[in-house]
Structure 1
Amino acid sequence: MKLNIAKTRVVSYTRKTNFLSYEYQLCHAIITRTSSVKDLGVFFDSKLHFHTHVNYIFSECIKLSGLIRSITYRFSSLESLYVLYFTLVRSNLEYASVIWNSITSTDANKIQRIKQKFESVCFYRFFPHISYTCNYTDALEKLSPQSLHKRRHHLDALLLVQVFRGLKSCTSLSENVSLCVPPSNLRDFSLFVVCPSNKHCSSARYAYPANSMGKDLDMFAIGTVSVNHISHVNEQKFVVN
């Protein structure tokens, strides 16, 4: 197999200011060095902060939101707007989020603004008698109270459940996270335990939202487990507590 030199890039993944930069060659041609590279739709920057990816999906989804706003001006159904939003916008905002969900709070708020802009359009069209700016909580209750940040955590928990159910394969995740067997019948316990040496890795990020559901999530039950099911379990647990 021949490699395309024009499409080959070199990226050094490190958070150090001064690092060793070596010029790699392929067929006597120097390979271009870059600070970020796109792989399967996700931009990986050299420090794995995913700022480039967040900026990319923000730019794309803002355009799609504007398109939805323009073509649905005469729509009389709120459900139709949400179908377009879920299909065109939210699917892009959540694509491969289990990879880049370690983003900063600033980037998370930036993504959340897209959802808020869409909700403001829906609110002004279908609930003109209620002030959106003064009654933001009421507006969210009428539209969709679940934030994108919470949905990404549910997707993290879903991946962990799917790995332990054998639906997906992830060797590093299954090695770093194990099931916790409580010594007695405790009311609250952690379903998953992370290896102490990997508490700051992505495996721990998957385990925390799954543990927040506790015994309310039967991960070995017959049938499929979706992100909507995990969201419902989490909401029920929040109401009970």
Structure 2
Amino acid sequence: MGSGTSRQDLKVRAEEKDLGVIFDPTLKFSKHVGTISNKANRIVGLIKRTFDYMDEDMFRPLYKTLVRPHLEYANCVWSPFLQKDITAIEKVQRRATKMIPSFRELPYEMRLQRLNLPTLAYRRLRGDMIQVYKIMHGINDMSKSTLFEMKEVDKELRGHNLEYTRNLHV
């Protein structure tokens, strides 16, 4: 070890926060999801206490600018795969959409439709597809061969050079 640091001075950490994302040794991100859900719920509560009147036109920009960024920041890194984490994140949006008095009794899907908002799971999937597109078309500075196994294309048959057979990191 360099510069006078001994092995005894190093501490093992249960988690690490980097660029606002909490990493744990298992890479499940449940602690991160809990933290961002709590923060987003606090902001929903603040909006609820601040505004006596809430309609669709007021809700949409408030939610999109104050709440949703907390739920989506760097989600391509920590995208949840455990059902409990997916539910925790979506629960924030469920609660927020009930702030409009005329929407409280409507089912969640109907509230989203009326507000012209997608589910957060859909937004994560869409973001993943956009990222794949950028990688496949060379927009991101990443080699697609490190992430995808490309399919051999027979020029005489149908197909194109962006077909892949499977994900290498499964």
Contact 2:112 2:119 in 1 (8 A): no
1:47, distance to aligned residue in structure 2 (A):
0.5
Following superposition, the deviation at residue 73 of structure 1 comes to: 2.0
Letter in 1 for 2:47: I
8 Å contact from structure 1 (residues 164, 174) kept in 2: no
Paired position in structure 1 for 2:34? 55
The 5 A counterparts of 1:73-112 are: 73-75=52-54, 77-112=55-90
Query: What TM-score results when the alignment is normalised by the length of structure 1?
Result: 0.59
Tell me how large the CA RMSD over aligned residues is: 2.9
Distance 1:36 1:117, change over 3 A: same
2:113 pairs with 141, 163, 167, which one?
141
- Distance in structure 1 (CA, Å) of the matches to 2:70 and 2:25: 22
Cα distance in 2 between the residues matched to 1:137 and 1:28: 55
Give the 5 Å matches for 1:1-241. Answer: 26=5, 30-75=9-54, 77-122=55-100, 124=101, 127=102, 131-132=105-106, 135-144=107-116, 146-171=118-143, 174-178=145-149, 180=151, 184-185=157-158, 191-195=163-167, 198-200=168-170
Superimposed CA distance per residue, residues 184-238 of structure 1 (whole angstroms, 9 cap, x where no aligned partner): 448xxx944335xx251xxxxxxxxxxxxxxxxxxxxxxxxxxxxxxxxxxxxxx
Relative to the length of structure 2, the TM-score reads: 0.81
Higher RCO, 1 or 2 (CA under 8 Å, sep at least 6)?
2
Shift of 1:179: 5.2
What secondary structure sits across from 2:99 in the alignment? helix
SS of match in other structure, 1:33: coil
Percent identical pairs in the alignment equals 23
SS at 1:54 equivalent: helix
Structure 2: runs of 5 or more not aligned: none
Change (3 A) 1:87 1:181: farther
